[in-house]
Amino acid sequence: MNQWKNFSKGFFKENAVFTLLLGMCPTLGVTSSAINGLGMGLATTFVLVMSNLVVALIKDFIPDKVRIPSFIVVIATFVTIVEMIMQAYLPSLFDALGLFIPLIVVNCVVLGRAEAFASKNSPVSSIIDGLGMGLGFAMALTILGSVRELLGSGKLFGNVIYPDQYGMLVFVLAPGAFIALGYLIAFINRVKEKA
């Protein structure tokens, strides 16, 4: 039961984007559309789950002096797998996400969970934690991407909601990421205060 409590932390209490403000580089860089946010979130979720599993399995065999570099090698392996699969089967998403896919290796959400959780817990607990944190990250990126896409171009997941002439271009551009994220964080904090 305690394992599933860790799962839900990634969505609300310890959401990487809205609460901890971690992983801001991909959060602000790729969320110009909902599909980009979802794609990056799911790629990060896969890397989180698999790297947490491997770290939990090999934690007792890694000397303390090389613990962090070892975790980075594990994470980089799964990022390379994601990058190759995306390039082969989802080339348009791969082109849209570009440089941000390899940057998953140094995403503090992934490395932080490997160090803080997976290196101290069982493989099953580590998988559940990675899944919860990853899906919470994916949810946050998708929400931010949806808001920016809807306000900026009048679309949602590429479907036209209203004519793009009524869109506010700033939300598709970099400054719109900061504005939308700021308002979403304020809204979520307000909801938390009332709850």
Per residue in 138-157, pLDDT (tens digit) is: 999 999 999 999 999 889 99
Residues counted in the chain: 195
Stretch 50-65: mean pLDDT, rounded? 92
Residues 6+ apart with CB under 8 A from 6: 117, 125, 128, 129, 132
User: How many CA atoms lie less than 13 Å away from 94 in the CB half-sphere?
Assistant: 13
Whether 3 has a pLDDT exceeding 70, the answer reads no
| Average pLDDT of the chain to the nearest whole number | 88
- Tell me phi and psi for residue 140, to 5 degrees: -65, -45
User: Regarding predicted confidence, which is higher, 2 or 154?
Assistant: 154
pLDDT digit string (tens) for 122-143? 999 999 999 999 999 999 999 9
Whole-Å CA distances, 37 to 119, 147, 195: 28, 11, 27
Return the pLDDT at 70. Answer: 92
Dihedral sign, CA of 30, 142, 110, 20?
positive
Return the pLDDT at 2. Answer: 64
pLDDT digit string (tens) for 161-172? 888 888 888 898
